[in-house]
Chains A and B, each alone.
Chain A
Amino acid sequence: MTGRSMSDKCLQKLIQERDMLGMMVETFTKTSTGANLHFVPTKAFVDHHNEIIRRYLTGEPFITSYFCCAPEIYTAMDLPWNTFLTPAFTGALMSAYHDEIDASGEMFRGMDLCTIIRLAAYIVEEDLVPPPTAVIAMIHPCDGINVVHQVMAKNEKWSKIPVFGADPPYWEDERSYEYYADELKKMVEFLQKHTKLNLDTNRLREVIKESNKQIALWQEFNELRRAVPCPHGGAMGLEVFGEALTVHCGMPIGTAWLQDVIADAESLVKQGKGAVPKERIRLFWFDVLSLGLTLGLFPWLEQEWGAVIVMEMFGYAPYTQIDTSSEDSMFKGMAKRALHEVPMIRQARGVADYFLSDIERVVKDYKIDAVIFPGYMGHKDGSANVGLMREKCRELGVPFLYIGMDLFDDRYTTLDQLKDKCSTFFRAMGLG
């Protein structure tokens, strides 16, 4: 007996999120084309929430972790993981977290600390998230994430939960990959010790092979997004990321869904159909997407301006296949993926060069008409590249818009202000 119940305070936000996602699932039917492609990933999140709730109640192991901490390992260990930053994403969808966002600002005596970090720290401090068996901390790519895990470790309840953070080197070279592969091996030792689950090398190999297939499919999907008009907008890019690197990472169900997405995109391309009836502007959104944007700004951009998010930071997939021939090669491959390839970490962790080279690659490959850097208030490192990004865009002859917004608090820059900024920019640049 764990003495835990469904009425525990720490479960209530998770239940609220699950129910909201559940309502969305009910609006989709289980087919493999069109809007119903959203069924599988959304249902996966509902199932995932239920599994976390179940494990919390029974005391079976689950962990807190992230998409960039080698999730292939968790799949191979059959170990569910929960990202406690998720409420900020769903909160942005619902605009239901304003009170918590304000309270978190008071907690940190200021609102300039990254909202998602503030909110995450707040929900831990206020016991609004179920405590996991163990925490795999992410201590890059930004200062904020390092902070939130230290705050978490000081929290009375969470201080009793074992925590592991893999030390991230700043470089992308063989030395760094080997160093980080060793960190991942230490992470496995830690997980085995605290969850009592084992990592079987052959099972890991199977998962990575499946993950490799997913990555290949993701890249194929991205090839199709080069088409004019682009078959799918930014929301689908985010879902593809979510399937390949989170809930269905290395699982055949995720692979099958990706095949459906490709089939749908292929069909649309063959028919010459785009995400909007008349595509006029092709955009590269170079930052995180929040669900709020995919339901607010992006549909407006499509309807008002025929502007489609053809590529976004989280949809871009410059991945390499992981060599599964040996345990060492698999860990090294996962290290490379975690340090150098997964979105946001790739750009934000190390030197600024990937901000610039990714812009160059995407603008050329996807026939981009304009690059939008939203300048999320939490992404201080990215905002310190804004001049370099502008220069790169100038060199490429593509207009660049820097907004300055909070992806998770729609009061910082309101939807109307965002629309106004985009319209002014498009008009000034003669786009659309």
Chain B
Amino acid sequence: MATKVKSRAKTKSKALKAFTTAAETIVNPELKKWIEQGGKVMGYFCCYAPEEVITAAGMVPFRVRATGSTGTDLSDAYLSSINCPFCRHAFNMGLRGDYDFLEAVVWLNNCDHVRRIYDNWRRKVGTPLAHMMSLPKLTTDKQVAWWREELAILKDTLEKHLGITITDAKLRQAIKTHNETRRLLRQLYELRKKANPPITGAETLAVVVTSTAMPRGEFNQMLKELLHELKDAEGIKDYKSRLMLVSSIFDNPKDVKVMEDMGGLVVTDSMCFGSRMFWADVDEKAKDPLEAIARYYLQVKPSCPRIFLGFPERSKFVQDMIKEFKVDGVVGLRMVFCDLWAGELYMLEKDLQTWSIPVLHMDREYLMGGTIGQVRTRVQAFVESIEKARR
């Protein structure tokens, strides 16, 4: 029998309930309030999108998900069956009108699937502004300068579109706000280093997902409340092993819960709805805020597999996480048809073997509902194998 990991904080925490609810929806209550008050929202598809510029433009940056999607009937007319399931579901929701609340959307050429959503979306979905940015694949100062220009083009585009001026002061304030979000999220992760973490992996993912979906001021306030509540919360003891998730987009806390129900407590990750979003800060003291933002995204934040020859650093990041969070095993999740992550996990598995860290590789659909039974079985076997090896 698997040991279910039980949350200690959930029953007490209003903040955690709010995060969990928000992660289960697209338009959460705080975002709804913002929109009803006339606030504008800008969507984005990737954690390289410069949220700070969007916030400085007075909009809420919202990371597009396909939460609640039930099919791809409409998008199947445009994309093919070898395209990323997340993209197919998200574009389907765009076609269905679920994203009509967005004033603008920004894309980057981050992967072959997402960049093509831009091409389809701008032609088929009526979002007032669809903007594409050219993100370098290298990270030298030359690329920082290019990316800074791209940020300046985005800034100009938003100024024209909204009839506003984005001053350096607004950019600096946005940097502060987003850095605060990052610092608070790191504090939350810090609690997970404990032998008995006060929060589950599923709950943490709900918090992280929400950090991309509501006005950041409100989010920061709610997270402070949660951190306060968790300070003295009873830790989780009834788990069998400490797991780390390594993945691209993985945004459904219920999928993490399925794994945790098998006795593997998820204590950390290297995910783009996870630590890679917030493990470092933008320099608040830099002379040029746009350059500081550009440098952060290219040179400071942990990279993703599209950054050429960045694997040694990414691998080191995973290794550091394993040590700091006392990880027993790594679960590598790859969205089907994702070439970038096929290579990344292939290389990472080699390193994990060298470090004698057990690894479970799972290919996944965006909606894991149909494969939950398999996930349960495989995670259960993985957790048991870790236990057995420990004995």
Contacts and interface: CB of A to CB of B under 8 A. Distances in A.
A143 B111 contact: yes
Interface string A385-414: 111100000000000001010000000000
B317 to A, nearest CB: 15
A299 interface: no
B340 interface: yes
Interface string B130-148: 0011111110001100100
B343 A381 contact: no
A113 B119 CA distance: 23
A110 B342 contact: yes
A352 B311 contact: no
Given A108-B343, A143-B112, A381-B112, A352 B308 contact: no
Interface in B327-369: 334, 336-340, 342-347, 350, 361, 363
Interface stretch (A148-156, A265-273, A324-332, A420-428): A148-156
B86 interface: no
A150 B308 contact: yes
Contacts of A112: 82, 336-337, 342
B372 interface: no
Contacts of B363: 109-110
Contacts of B336: 110, 112
Interface in B303-321: 305-306, 308-309, 311
Given A148-B343, A179-B146, A388 B123 contact: yes
Contacts of B143: 167
A154 B149 CA distance: 32
Contact of B339 (A144, A386, A402): A144
B246 interface: no
A146 B80 CA distance: 22
A137 interface: yes
B82 A170 contact: no
B69 interface: no
Interface string A120-151: 01000000000000000101101110111111
A113 B342 contact: yes
A171 B109 CA distance: 10
Given A352-B119, A381-B116, A109 B79 contact: no
Contact of B83 (A149, A150, A151, A384): A384
Interface string A153-179: 110000000010101111100011001
A375 B79 CA distance: 11
Contacts of A108: 342-343, 346
A384 B117 CA distance: 8
A167 B139 CA distance: 9
Interface string B86-130: 010000000000000000000001011101111110010000000
A380 B339 contact: yes
B112 A384 contact: yes
Contacts of B112: 142-143, 380-381, 384
Contacts, number: 149
B371 interface: no
Interface in A72-118: 107-110, 112-114, 117
B132 A153 contact: no
A381 B87 CA distance: 12
Given A170-B134, A380-B83, A385 B116 contact: yes
B343 A121 contact: yes
Given A109-B363, A380-B83, A380-B113, A146 B308 contact: yes
Contacts of A148: 343
A377 interface: yes
Interface in A236-274: none
Contacts of B117: 384
B336 to A, nearest CB: 6
B37 interface: no
Contact of A151 (B113, B334, B346): B346
A375 B340 CA distance: 19
A143 B306 contact: yes
Contacts of A294: none
Contacts of A378: 339
Interface in B15-49: none
A174 to B, nearest CB: 13
Nearest to A376: B82
B81 interface: yes
A290 interface: no
Interface string A333-365: 000000000000000001111000000000000
A169 B79 contact: no
Contacts of B346: 107-109, 121, 151
Contacts of A114: 339
A110 B349 CA distance: 14
A403 to B, nearest CB: 11
B251 to A, nearest CB: 20
B337 A380 contact: yes
B169 interface: no
Contacts of B80: 375, 383-384, 386, 402, 404
Contacts of A153: 309, 311
Contacts of B339: 113-114, 117, 142-144, 147, 378, 380
A146 B306 contact: yes
Q: Which of B113, B143, B343 has the most CB of A within 10 A?
A: B343
Contacts of A144: 339
Nearest to A151: B343
Contacts of A380: 82-84, 112-113, 337, 339
A151 B336 CA distance: 19
7 contacts: A107-B346, A146-B340, A151-B346, A154-B350, A383-B79, A384-B117, A385-B119
Interface of A: 107-110, 112-114, 117, 121, 137, 139-140, 142-144, 146-151, 153-154, 163, 165, 167-171, 175-176, 179, 182, 350-353, 375, 377-378, 380-381, 383-388, 402, 404
Enumerate the 10 nearest inter-chain pairs by beta-carbon distance, A residue then B residue, closest first: A387-B78, A147-B343, A384-B116, A170-B134, A352-B119, A383-B80, A381-B112, A143-B339, A167-B138, A113-B342
